Chain A
């Protein structure tokens, strides 16, 4: 009887802990991880469809590299840095992770970058925008692949200031991405002779923007700088319309994805300037990829999803070139090679980890100008990578001026 009692107690404890025994790290596989916002404000930007893009890249590469099968792990970081960092650390310790693709949310990616440096696992930041990832937060193992806040500001803010929007008030998502985007845009505005009147910080995923928008209106600025993204962006724009703010202020979409424009509809979004790394309708190669993607997902791909495809391919090519998954060798190869695929031509990875490639300033078409579904953008300007991402700032210890 007594024995049964403590058998139960020990069993309860044991059973609850035994699942902790790990899957043995697989050296006969190449493990690619994707930690992303799968259910929150950025879920449509990369999300589950992004995983599909990764799988497409693996299939296009052949499914194996160096004779090892390629395996994909996914997790939802729920926009929490601690979840992202913990999952990354766990996969690195327990599952033999070889490459991590970082989905949206700069704050989470900064946390994961720190883990990348400690665990020495390459991290490709696909989703986040914060330029600090290649400056103060840079590491020898991170690559900032698709876009950053500097490029966005250089594209969109310049276009708006040059077309007359001289005084700016910012509605800023209150975390790393928002503040960095605001800082980059402010710099561009001042350089082009404009004025930064003020800013208000809004919690990520705020349900109601009305009081913040009233503050913006009270400032009397010409431009409402929306330093946010995803559903935050679409909701703040909709609220700005509702409160009549867009009658007196011009909205600046500092970061907008194809999916945002789609959910806003051209009626609301027409005329907006935005900067993007990639658009599905640019050329025959992009259209071919988009067609395959659309067949599976029923939506056209965003730049992040195309970026996830390209990043996976680039990594696999590097691994094949050095015939090893050793992180240091692969990183060295990555910083030497040129990237040519449907995502970019002539792209390269700089010493600080930034992937330098062309960026496009677009304007959202008017409803009458759109001829077929998802025909949303017209190209205003093509910026070379050097122009978009700017020179090396020297803030990253790996890339001094």
Chain B
């Protein structure tokens, strides 16, 4: 575990130095928000084995709610984000409650359809600004004291929140709740026979995931200064699945790596290859599903553990 600790330390150092390395802070913040989104999603997919196809609903709807509270009701950023998280949790309870009733494929399709419903609500509802979205969202000041206009200041805030979310997810997975969730993932009938109400556990996991996705979304809206339909679109749901898959479901750092790769690809690939980005992302998806199912971090961990245990035992739980 020493190697992972060193790795995290290096990355932490890198993250702290970003503004001085000449990297565009807005790009990094967007990356961090999507990394948060992917980590939250991984809680559901990797650790709960539930493939939600409409997770952008929480990301985007929270973005709209926080942006609206800031622009129309002069909320401060922290209050707006907290309210948006509450709304995301409520929405998660609603959608989760409906979807949990079914398993596997059916669960995926239900979340897909309900996510689409949220998209249309965002399109039609008066407060969302329809096709225009909510524009010109000011960054305000944190708790009225720390002005967030500067990209660098906001970057450190976002970084701090990201680290907190990451540690929180680790905590949840390693907690007794997380252990039960793992048991349900391995064999639901067995868990039920042991007396656990599997539906309730799955719903709680769903709601936590939705809330954290909402946090990521409202933070993203604050960074960019707008909330638009792209945040709730089906393609965003697809992207977060790819990020998690590419990075490695069931690992902690996988989603972060996946998010970094995809966000960077979209940002810089589109300058080079223009509209081919979508097709290329599709290719990566297909390649991942066919032969790279463990994802980047998953493959790395398997390689590492195979080296440590040449008898080819199952890799241990992720660090």
Contact = CB atoms under 8 A, between A and B. Distances in A.
Do chains A and B directly touch (beta carbons under 8 Å) in the complex?
yes
Nearest to B256: A13
Interface in B119-174: 123, 130-133, 135-136
Contacts of A93: 24, 26
Interface in A334-391: none
6 contacts: A17-B28, A17-B260, A20-B268, A93-B26, A114-B136, A175-B130
A94 B7 CA distance: 30
Interface string B282-311: 000000000000001100100110010000
Interface stretch (A3-11, A27-35, A59-67): A3-11
Chain A to chain B: the 4 pairs with minimum beta-carbon distance, closest first: A175-B131, A107-B132, A114-B136, A20-B23
Contacts of B226: 81-82, 85, 111
A86 interface: yes
A131 B34 CA distance: 36
B133 A8 contact: no
Given A80-B228, A110-B132, A114-B225, A9 B264 contact: no
A174 B131 contact: yes
Interface in B46-81: none
A2 B6 CA distance: 12
A199 to B, nearest CB: 14
Given A16-B261, A81-B135, A85-B135, A9 B274 contact: no
B264 A19 contact: yes
A123 to B, nearest CB: 14
B6 A176 contact: no
B22 interface: yes
Interface of A: 1-2, 5-6, 8-10, 12-14, 16-17, 19-22, 39, 76, 80-83, 85-86, 89-90, 93-94, 107, 110-111, 114-115, 174-176, 203-204
A76 B11 CA distance: 34
Interface string B212-226: 000000000000111
Contacts of A81: 132-133, 135, 226, 228
Nearest to A112: B135
B225 A13 contact: no
Nearest to A205: B131
Most chain B CB within a 10 A radius of its CB, from A13, A22, A115:
A13
A279 to B, nearest CB: 30
A5 B303 contact: yes
Contact of A12 (B24, B31, B257): B257
A82 B230 contact: yes
Nearest to A78: B275
A2 B225 CA distance: 43
A20 B24 contact: yes
Interface string B228-259: 11110000000000000000000000000100
B308 to A, nearest CB: 9
A181 to B, nearest CB: 14
A1 B7 contact: no
Contact of A13 (B11, B123, B130, B230): B11
A10 B7 contact: yes
B223 to A, nearest CB: 10
A114 B136 CA distance: 6
A5 B264 CA distance: 22
A20 B264 contact: yes
Contacts of A19: 264, 267-268
B3 interface: yes
B3 A2 contact: yes
Contacts of A13: 11, 14, 257, 260
B21 A21 contact: yes
A351 B130 CA distance: 30
B113 interface: no
Interface in B15-36: 21-24, 26-28, 31
Nearest to A105: B131
A93 B23 CA distance: 11
A117 to B, nearest CB: 8
Contacts of A94: 24
Interface in B89-106: none
B132 A1 contact: no
A17 B264 contact: yes
A9 B24 contact: no
Nearest to A20: B23
A40 to B, nearest CB: 11
A10 B260 contact: no
Nearest to B27: A20
Contacts of B3: 2, 5-6
B260 A5 contact: no
